[in-house]
Structure 1
Amino acid sequence: MLDAKLRPLIDPPLNRVGHALASAGITANMLTLGGLVLGLAGATAIALGHIGAGLALIIANRIADGLDGAVARVKGPTPLGGYFDIVADFAFYVSIPLGFGVFAAGNTLPALVLVASFVLTGVSFLAFAVIAASRGEETDAHGKKSFFYSTGLAEGTETIAVFIAMCLFPAWFPVLAYGYAALCVLTVIQRSALAVIQFKD
């Protein structure tokens, strides 16, 4: 919901750094892999009870994720880069709830519910992208991407905001997890309604 609105604010500084990294020979795929390592390390830190370190690594992951896109815009996005980027994103997204699920026994069920809701949103997102691409449809609402990005109530910005809240208030993880899972389900419903309108023959 907020991703497209934040693009005009975050893209200019990211693009400047992206140009410098690209000039230094850093590739988008290097940043994608590095960001994934940082994100999984953050989930591991949370599982081990180092919540502050986990928060720092989550933020580092998001910076790397923004920079890989900036570098890709310099050299031109590739299908392989787009594939690695979305796989790394979803691997990171599911790892954080799993980290909290391991951290405290009372977090297990809400963590599973949240991961399940991420699977649903991921499937709806990718299915929408595949069908939109097959119809030749395009959008630049989220910047230049390797494939069609449909909007929704629960997007990357909202997810990271919830992850940060979980790290700042770990005792509230179950409430935050159930609440965000409900928003993810609403996103699937919203995207499905959009599909009915947009893909209707």
Structure 2
Amino acid sequence: MFDAKLRPLIDPPLNRLGAWLAGKGATANVVTAVGLAIGLSGAVAIAFSHYTLGLVLIALNRLTDGLDGAVARANGPSDLGGYFDIVADFAFYVSIPLAFGIADPAHTIPALILVAAFVLTGTSFLAYAAIAAKRGEETAAHGSKSFFYSTGLAEGTETILFFIAMTLFPAWFAVLAYVFAALCVLTVVQRSLLAQAQFTNRA
């Protein structure tokens, strides 16, 4: 919901740093791999109830997630890079609620429900992107991307805000997980209605 609105604010500094990293020989795929390693390390920290460390690593993961795109824009984007980026994103997203479920068995059910909601949201997102690409549709609302990014209530910004809240208030994880899972389901409904409006007629 907020991703497109934040792009004009975060892209300029990220692009400058990305261009600098590219000038030093960094590649987007390496930045993506480093970011994934950091994000999964954050999940491990949370699984062992080191929530403050988990919060720091989550923040670093999101920084690298922005930087890999900036490096790609400096070096020239690639389809392979776009593939690795989205896979790394969803691997990170599902690892965090699973980590909370491991840290506290009482959180197992809400963690699994949130993971299921992520899977459903991700499926609708990628299905929409695939059909939009087939029909030749494009959007620049989320910046330059390897494939079509459809807007929804629950996007990257909202996900990270909830992750931050979960690490700051782990005792409230179940409530936060159920609320965000509901937002994910609403996003799927929203995207499905948009798909019905956009894809009813053949391209």
Would the TM-score normalized by the shorter structure come out above 0.5?
A: yes
Q: What's the counterpart of residue 133 of structure 1?
A: 133
1:95 is matched with 95
| Residue of structure 1 in register with 2:17 after alignment | 17
Q: Which amino acid aligns with 1:36?
A: L
Q: 1: CA distance between counterparts of 2:39 and 2:193?
A: 32
Residue by residue over 1:101-147, the C-alpha shift from the partner in whole angstroms, topping out at 9 and shown as x without a partner, is 00001100000000000000000000000000000000000000000
Aligned equivalents of 1:146, 1:91: Cα separation in 2: 18
The secondary structure found in structure 1 opposite 2:66 is helix
Match for residue 156 of structure 2?
A: 156
Give deviations 1:3-28, integer Å, cap 9, x for gaps. 00000000000001001000000000
| 1:72-91 paired onto structure 2 within 5 Å | 72-91=72-91
Aligned partners of 1:79 and 1:36: how far apart in 2?
A: 18
Measured after TM superposition, the shift of residue 75 of structure 1 is: 1.5
Q: Aligned partners of 1:169, 1:49: CA distance in 2, in Å?
A: 12
| 1:193 alignment partner in structure 2 | 193
CA shift, 1:85, in A, is 0.1
Partner amino acid, structure 1, of 2:92: F
Mapped to 2, the partners of 1:171 and 1:161 lie a distance apart of: 16
| Moved beyond 4 Å, runs of 4+ | none
Q: Which whole-Å CA distance do the structure 2 matches of 1:142 and 1:159 have between them?
A: 16
Offset at residue 200 of structure 1 (A) = 1.3
Q: In the comparison of the two structures, how many residue pairs are matched?
A: 201
Aligned to 2:49: 49
- Specify the alignment match of 2:145 in structure 1: 145
Counterpart residue number, 2:70: 70
Percent identity between matched residues is 72
Q: Summarize deviations over 1:16-68 as a string: whole Å, max 9, x none.
A: 10010000000000000000000000000000111100000000000000000
> How far, CA to CA, are the matches of 2:119 and 2:84 in structure 1?
17
Tell which deviates more after alignment, 74-83 or 85-94: 74-83
